[in-house]
Amino acid sequence: MKIKNNSLAINSIMIVISTTIIGTILHELAHFFMAGYFGLKPELHHNYVKYLSANATALQNMIVAGAGPLFSLVFGVIVLFISVKITKPSLFKLFTLWLGMNGILMFLGYILIAPIAKEGDTGKVFDFFNIPVYVSVFIAIISFIVIVYLFSNLSKEFRFYKNEDLFKQDENRKQLFLYPIWSSIVFMTVLSLPVITWISLLPTIFMPMTYISTMKRYKKLDLKDAGLKIDFISKPLLILTIITIIIYRMLI
């Protein structure tokens, strides 16, 4: 297979990795600015924010913890809305689609792992409000249902793209989802090391698996062709991916 036939996969991998890094950094910046607002001398790192939590009140610690997921949700909804409203298919539309999905996932996903990740963002929020375990489990189940429903319905937003003139839905499914999902899990896990706590790796390893629901629904779509053939490697996207990786590692 010629390299151009894999271009959709290569671009998709770069999009998923770069949007994951961007979403993560913005998430941590929300923690950072909120801790700074309370005068807690925060330090920004690649997947966590260190601050003087002992000097903060319980309410302040809860607000700092909740700032990340809440910002991710608002940001994700706005970007996803913009992406869906873009009528002309392009790599930019695909980029904003993944970026918006990532933001929403960083909210719902943290709710999903709250029952087992007490030291995570939502775990701290639930603890502040003394939410019982059975209630947090129920909320996690609802979160899972919402994620599957939403992401499954977003599968139609991927129908515009193909890797070559001859449309092969199964091959496009692999290049749009399968390769990017597993590449993201492996690459982002390695890129995130070292971590101060195992909880930091939970989102990196498990959250991308949520996109499998999108992939499964895409497979069931009755598609005959796609309007945009991706037979090139985007240089701006390549540069962006490299820059985001460098910044992410600098924040170790």
Q: Is the dihedral of CA 32, 68, 15, 157 positive or negative?
A: negative
Q: How many CB atoms lie within 10 A of CB 75?
A: 22
Average of pLDDT values for 5-30? Answer: 96
Which of 19-28, 43-52, 76-85, 204-213 bottoms out in mean pLDDT, i.e. has the lowest?
Answer: 204-213
Q: How many CB atoms lie within 10 A of CB 43?
A: 12
Which of 36-45, 114-123, 216-225 bottoms out in mean pLDDT, i.e. has the lowest?
Answer: 114-123
For the chain, percent of residues with pLDDT exceeding 90:
85
Q: How many CB atoms lie within 10 A of CB 221?
A: 12
The pTM of the full predicted model, rounded to 2 decimals, is 0.95
Residue carrying the six token digits 């997947």? 47
pLDDT at 129: 96
Q: Which pLDDT band holds residue 158 (cuts at 50, 70, 90)?
A: very high
Query: Based on the structure, what is the number of domains in the chain?
Result: 1
Mean pLDDT, the chain, integer: 94
Closest by CA to 187, choosing from 199, 205, 173, 174, is 205
Domain that holds residue 150: 3-250
